[in-house]
Amino acid sequence: MTLIFGDNVYYNLIFFITITIVFTWLITQTFKVLLKCWIGKKFSFKMFLADGDFPSTHTALVTCSVILILFLNACSFSIEDISIVSQYNSAKDFLIILTLAAIVIRDAMGQRHRQDNTNKNLKTLKDYIQGMGIERNVIEHIDATFQSIDNEAIKRVGHLKHEVYGGMIMGALCALYPIIFFFNRYDWLAFAITLTVIYFGAIMVFLKLKPVVIKKITYKKKK
């Protein structure tokens, strides 16, 4: 392992884990934004904090964490010094907590916050219509419609299957490169590059052969 902070293995592992998780989030979100801009011909900085779409950032982070844990386990099995093994175990605990915290905080500030705003807006509109003296059966119909909209809004923050699978592969790739460079595993570099080329090549082929589905909206690439 490349030592950044002297001979303290724990601090070096914490640095490696943090960089890898941040790297995974940045790469996944950036690729997601670039893909949406290419398809929809629109750009906004808010896209970097958007939920959903291809690939799934949540899935990428979790997959990356799983690969890191498996790799750190494999490393610790070959170490005889008990004190160093304990530092590896402590680093794995930090990785699990960091991943969990990142996902929970992201959801709390993202889709849950927007859902609360949606509910408030719907209630405000319903109260306004109710105050106009419209008959009760009409109000009940409007209420049912609002509930349907509310349910649809919850569904649309999720992911389609191909977005989840894409996030899994992206997470694996984002875990591989930091491992290669931090642990000097350059014998894995050819494999990582080959997998990367296949992944992005498959995406390009998919874009050319059929429409790209983002959520439930289908966009066709403009010629």
pLDDT of residue 22: 95
CA angle 190/174/51 to nearest 5° reads: 145
* In the predicted structure, residue 123 carries a pLDDT above the cut 80: no
Residue by residue, DSSP assigns 100-117 as HHHHHHHHHHTHHHHHHH
Distance CA 168, CA 134 (A): 51
Q: Which has more confidence, 98 or 142?
A: 98
Q: What is the mean pLDDT of residues 104-111?
A: 72
Q: Which pair of structure tokens corresponds to residue 141?
A: 């119909």
Short-list 198, 13, 39, 203, CA closest to 98: 13
